[in-house]
Structure 1
Amino acid sequence: MKRLLLLYASQTGRTLQLVAAVRASVAGLADDLQFNCLPAEQATLDDLLATDGIVLATPENFGYMAGKLKDFFDRTFYPAQGRTEGLACLLLVSAGNDGLGALQSMRRIIAGYGWHEVLPAVVVRGEPAAAQLAEVAERAEQLVAGMLIGRW
């Protein structure tokens, strides 16, 4: 059985809308998928070590990822070193500006873990439109499909 972990840090409903789109899209996808959705501050090293793929969702805060997601990285980076390399990853950013600072900072950190951003990130600027939520759902489904067939 494959395991997908969705970690999110949210101060606003916009990021939670992205999380809801992922949850809805993967909830009934396959009997061979264990799905775990956690706020970043509740996630542990064990949650990370037990997953085959990860979705990271964050708002853009002052041109950076949310502090709660950064805290997760701070708590798990060294203990996870060499133990999560090759993990399939999808990045989601809810931005009030351009989202590029948040995206760039997450990419630097996941590179240090040795994770692979297997699909293009989704950056939603402002209130998510239906088409953007559909894009988030589609990317999550693609991530799971790739996991289930062993592509990543």
Structure 2
Amino acid sequence: MSATLLIVHHTPSPHCQEMFEAVVAGATDPEIEGVEVIRRPALTVSPVEMLEADGYLLGTPVNLGYLSGALKHAFDQSYYQLLDSTRGRPFGVYLHGNEGTEGAERALAGITAGLGWVQATKTVVVAGKPTKADVEACWNLGATVAAQLVD
């Protein structure tokens, strides 16, 4: 039986797209077997998909110092269904923000703490065009969270 890793993302810009692609590449590395990676835009992910996942990768731009409305919407529509049902599940976060990401980081920390999720590795934060090191950090984020789901 394979584990399911759900990538919930809001990817409105080329920089966010580059980060998303690197996260997906890490999560789907052929050396990590037994993990199905599902990608869903934050505005279309369903509460059922959130419930059925074994782990999560969350990606968003930081708008005006806060996470995107799209990612907030994903949690708004599923939070109470997830509460108490998904405790202990690993997650990772990548953020793209040009002016301070502290508000978004605080918001996600509050949401995921309330759900009882466990952060698998540190948040990847990128400002401006992702560097080679930023892209590698995104790849590592995807691979780290996926690897934690392997039996």
TM-score (norm 2): 0.93
Q: Deviations over 1:40-95 (max 9, x none)?
A: 11101111111111000000001000000000110001122111111101011001
Identity among equivalent pairs (%):
26
Spell out the pairing of 1:46-61 with structure 2 (5 A cutoff). Answer: 46-61=48-63
Counterpart for residue 131 of structure 2? 129
Any conservation in 1 of the 2:25–2:142 contact (CA below 8 Å)? no
Number of aligned residue pairs: give it.
149
User: How much does 1:98 deviate?
Assistant: 2.3
Q: CA RMSD in A?
A: 1.2
Secondary structure at the counterpart of residue 37 of structure 1: strand
| Consecutive unaligned residues in structure 2, runs of 5 or more | none
Instruction: Return the letter of the residue paired with 2:80.
Output: Y
Match of 1:17 in 2: 18
Q: Is the 8 A contact 1:99 1:125 kept in 2?
A: no
Q: Which runs of 5+ in 1 are unaligned?
A: none
Rounded to whole Å, the distance in 1 between the matches of 2:73 and 2:27 is 26
* TM-score, reference length from structure 1: 0.93
Q: Report if the CA contact (8 A) 2:10-2:68 is conserved.
A: yes
- Give the match's secondary structure for 2:77: helix
* Superposed CA offset, 1:94-122 (max 9, x none): 01112121111111111111111121011
Equivalence for 2:145: 143
What are the within-5 Å matches in structure 2 for residues 66-85 of structure 1?
66-85=68-87
1:89 has 2:99 as partner: no
The DSSP-based 3-state class of the residue aligned with 1:103 is helix
* SS at 1:11 equivalent: coil
- Cα distance in 2 for residues equivalent to 1:32 and 1:58: 26
- Which residue of the partner structure matches residue 38 of structure 1? 40
The answer to whether the 8 Å contact 2:3/2:34 transfers is: yes
Higher relative contact order (CA 8 A, sep 6+): 2
C-alpha contact 2:3 2:149 (8 A) present in aligned 1? yes
CA contact (8 A) 1:9 1:69 kept: yes
CA distance in 2, matches of 1:104, 1:15: 20
Q: Which runs of 4+ in 1 moved over 6 A?
A: none
